[in-house]
Structure 1
Amino acid sequence: MKIQIIIGANTIEGMLYDNPTARDFTARLPMTMELKDYAGKEKIYTFSNKLSLEKAPSGSEGMTGDITYYAPWGNLAIFYKDHGYASGLVPLGRIENVSKLEELCRASCQVTIEQPSD
């Protein structure tokens, strides 16, 4: 499923995988949130209600461009630098222009994540 991350007047394209956790996230869209920088590698947002972990892997690699859900903390994590394996990290999808995310969203930024209207 295609998504777009809107930062001000800029749009970053992405896609979500077809898994129960990603479907739970999709059901919450559109969402406006404050992304904050974490560890100089990822942008994160903590959900008020956790996402489904049905059929989720025990962990995965956090690679540049990955959209993930970190189950232990209940947060969305979008990686702009490689992180490596993390227990509880569930793949949700990918963004296409990682450098644009890093450029437009320095320390923190407000974004809207939604499905394209087309």
Structure 2
Amino acid sequence: MILRLTVDGHTVAAALNGSPAARDLADLLSLTLDLKDFHHTERIGYPPRKLDTTNAPDPAAPKAGDLAYYAPWGNLALFYRDGGPASSDLLILGHHSDESEVARIAMADRVRFDAAA
């Protein structure tokens, strides 16, 4: 599934990976989240409920442009820098490939997720 992320009036496409958590996120669309910075690496926000993490994909180290879900806290993360080592608690849900939007995401206070038409 392709998402449209809208940040400060700019839209970028992101591809979800088809995992149960990614499909569960898609069920919540349209979704607007307030964001805050976390470790100068990612912007995080909280969906209205926790996502389904059954049959999660193998852990992978997050990269700039990744959309991820941190299961213990129930937050979504938009990485604007490469993250630390892989963790079974952090599920990569998808990725956007527009490098010009990474800097905009780093400063974003709000993001809107919609299904792409």
Query: TM (normalized to structure 1)?
Result: 0.87
Provide the rounded CA distance (Å) in 2 between the counterparts of 1:104 and 1:22. 20
**Aligned counterpart, 1:31:** 31
RMSD: 1.7
Q: Does the CA-based 8 Å contact 1:7-1:112 persist in structure 2?
A: yes
Decide which structure has greater strand share: 1
Gaps of 5+ in 2: none
What whole-Å deviation, never above 9, does each CA across 1:13-63 have from its counterpart, x for those lacking one? Answer: 111011111000000011011121111000111233110011014633111
Shift of 1:105: 4.7
Count of paired positions: 116
Q: Does the CA-based 8 Å contact 2:33-2:46 persist in structure 1?
A: no
**Aligned counterpart, 1:19:** 19
Q: Does the CA-based 8 Å contact 2:19-2:57 persist in structure 1?
A: no
Query: Percent identity, aligned pairs only?
Result: 34
| Runs of 4+, deviation exceeding 4 Å | none
Query: TM (normalized to structure 2)?
Result: 0.88
